Structure 1
Amino acid sequence: MSFTDRKILKRFVKEKPLKSIQEFLTVKIITMPIQPIIAILFPGDMGTQIAKALIKNNYKVITAGNGRSARTLENIKSIGIEDVGSLQNIVEQADIILSLTSPEGSLEIAENTISCLENTDNRPVFIDLNSNTPEVALNLEKLFSAKNIKFVNGAVMGASKDIPDHATLIVSGTYRNIFLDVFSTVFKIKDAGEKTEAASAYKLLFSMVNKGMNALFFETMTAAAHFGILDELNDSLQEFLPGTYKDLMKTTPTYPQHIFRRIDEMKGLTQMLKSENLPGIIASGTAETFERVYESGIFKNENFEGVIDTLQSFKKLA
């Protein structure tokens, strides 16, 4: 029985006598400590907001500060995250590990975690919230299941500033109920079902709608600037589609800060659709449009306040 199992058993028997270890093992599949120790790897913008919400709800949150900048360490301390130093200490102490880095860094975090698990009998639940492609999510599950580690695939739908009240955390996989049981009172959560890759597909397909809408406007404004009618067309579209412009306010002004990441996301979506032999013309076109805008430099060092001034920046292309 692992260290985590013993901790869970000790807490559990205080509430309900167990007839056998087999009963405990059956219960454990859907049971976690009443207040599990949560590790966050790592507290960037999204990780910090998630940590704040957890700490506000009296969860103990830990992280591995080794190798982090002085500014990051000060931020960790100021919001109440406990720095336990190394990743090895994380895997020995945590009941749940939340991976919050990037799709590009998720595999490295997973491999490093598995390496540390060789030196302990603790078996924390590993939850990846990096919005990976379905293929990567399935690869991660294979890595962890080979080490008898429960894995939950997930993604965050929304900006870090929207945590916890407006952003939605999507989870999927065999052990998703662990996440739902532990965090349902803290975050808005969408259960994407038993298929491990489902949360990844959910996030990417949702993104195709709102990012595809922005790509449509970016391509339209590129052509409008070329013909010298950008302001006039913008006025007409805003009058004809007021609700659409209101919706765009949530995302369009953020593109100077996030367009590069959204290029990668749309390329991941294109890859997913291609691998499933599904049409991907809009997905690939969205990625191409974003790349063209990024390479044009019109968003460089910009900080737009609204949709109109964002779209007016396309005049630079004329």
Structure 2
Amino acid sequence: MSTPPTPTLPSRPVIGILHPGVMGAAIGSSLKPVAGAVIWAAAGRSVPTSKRAETADLVGVPDVPELARRAHLIISICPPHAALDVAGQVADALGDRAERPLYVDANAVSPATVAAIAERLGAEHVVDGAVIGPPAWERGSTVLWLSGGRAAEVAALFDRSPFDARVLGADLGAASALKACFGLQSKVVPALWLTMAQAARAHGVEDALREELARDDIDYPALISRAAGQAAEKGWRWAGEMEEAADAIAALGLPDGFSRAAAEVYRAAGNPEGR
């Protein structure tokens, strides 16, 4: 019995974005020059999401089943805690359909979560993605790491986009593992600073701490202000990312308390209202 040929994307694929938050809108906008259409599922989304999609000139379709029916490529970019559910919605919408879209999970999740998504959708139809950097509107700030058997196919779509797409290898979960490791310094360390500041304040030694840090050329007020601002704005999302990172670390038998504690810090600081 001959092996069926590996499917490939059409020259101008229809690309579905689930969902156009700040990052999703930037990704969708960046792919418009190479796509037949960039679509998003409007059902149940907030007014800010709708406005972002409109600003990015994305085409709204009624719901996830319609998006799954039309798209050749689906990019999931959502809060980490929702990644598996979003993949499940797509899997349910596809049912037993023979022709299936390529699914990029670009969320900050653990390799185990990527494996669970691949189990739902079929590993041959899944690419693992990890965005490191802010929403990109100009080249040079943000890398999209991709892994999986069809990672290069996805990376090619971003060749002239603001996102620098790089292939990490063929192993599903490699991109997410990189994101989890990177998060130890990009999110765990700021959470440690915030905890340190809170403790120093409670003990009445914050001024002395500031003096000691200044002797090491550390701008304590600026550092804490930046960390607190990020936690207030993004903590609702970062908490889930830190839980996923902890799962990735624990799976190796390594201490995962750093990320679990960071998740607690961000959960306390974050505010999901209006997201």
Q: What residue is the counterpart of 1:215 in the other structure?
A: 191
User: 1:64, CA displacement in angstroms?
Assistant: 1.9
d(CA) in 2 for partners of 1:176, 1:182: 10
User: 1:141, CA displacement in angstroms?
Assistant: 0.9
User: TM-score normalized by structure 2?
Assistant: 0.82
User: 1:243, CA displacement in angstroms?
Assistant: 8.3
Gaps of 5+ in 2: none
Match of 1:201 among 154, 174, 177: 177
Identity among equivalent positions (%) equals: 25
Contact 1:157 1:168 in 2 (8 A): yes
Deviates more, 1:128-137 or 1:154-163: 154-163
Q: What residue is the counterpart of 1:93 in the other structure?
A: 70
Q: What residue is the counterpart of 2:146 in the other structure?
A: 171
SS in 1 for 2:165: strand
Contact 2:80 2:237 in 1 (8 A): no
Q: What residue is the counterpart of 2:59 in the other structure?
A: 82
d(CA) in 2 for partners of 1:173, 1:257: 32
Q: 1:130-159 CA deviation, whole Å, 9 max, x = no partner?
A: 11111110011122227xx51101122223
Q: What residue is the counterpart of 1:117 in the other structure?
A: 94
Is the radius of gyration larger for structure 1 or structure 2?
1
User: 1:65, CA displacement in angstroms?
Assistant: 1.8
d(CA) in 2 for partners of 1:222, 1:178: 47
Q: 1:181-209 CA deviation, whole Å, 9 max, x = no partner?
A: 22233211233322211111111110011
Relative distance call for 1:232 and 1:134 in structure 2 (3 A) is same
d(CA) in 2 for partners of 1:286, 1:74: 32
d(CA) in 2 for partners of 1:179, 1:132: 19
Relative distance call for 1:181 and 1:75 in structure 2 (3 A) is closer
Q: How many residues matched?
A: 269
Gaps of 5+ in 1: 1-21, 302-318
Correspondence list, 1:116-195, <5 A: 116-118=93-95, 120-145=97-122, 150-160=125-135, 165-186=140-161, 187-195=163-171
Correspondence list, 1:223-234, <5 A: 223-234=199-210
User: 1:91, CA displacement in angstroms?
Assistant: 2.4
Q: 1:229-259 CA deviation, whole Å, 9 max, x = no partner?
A: 3134224424513489888887553111122
d(CA) in 1 for partners of 2:210, 2:139: 34
Q: Which residue identity lines up with residue 269 of structure 1 in the other structure? A: A
Contact 1:134 1:197 in 2 (8 A): yes
SS in 2 for 1:104: helix
Contact 1:40 1:47 in 2 (8 A): yes
SS in 1 for 2:131: strand
d(CA) in 1 for partners of 2:223, 2:175: 24
Q: Which residue identity lines up with residue 255 of structure 1 in the other structure? A: A
Q: Which residue identity lines up with residue 147 of structure 2 in the other structure? A: S
Q: 1:8-36 CA deviation, whole Å, 9 max, x = no partner?
A: xxxxxxxxxxxxxx99x75x55x532222
User: 1:63, CA displacement in angstroms?
Assistant: 1.5
Relative distance call for 1:164 and 1:104 in structure 2 (3 A) is farther
Question: CA-atom RMSD, angstroms?
Answer: 3.2
Deviates more, 1:101-110 or 1:203-212: 101-110
Larger relative contact order, structure 1 or 2 (CA cutoff 8 Å, min sep 6) = 2
Q: What residue is the counterpart of 1:42 in the other structure?
A: 19
d(CA) in 2 for partners of 1:163, 1:252: 27
Q: Which residue identity lines up with residue 39 of structure 1 in the other structure? A: G
User: 1:285, CA displacement in angstroms?
Assistant: 3.9
Q: Which residue identity lines up with residue 66 of structure 2 in the other structure? A: N
Match of 2:253 among 277, 284, 293: 277
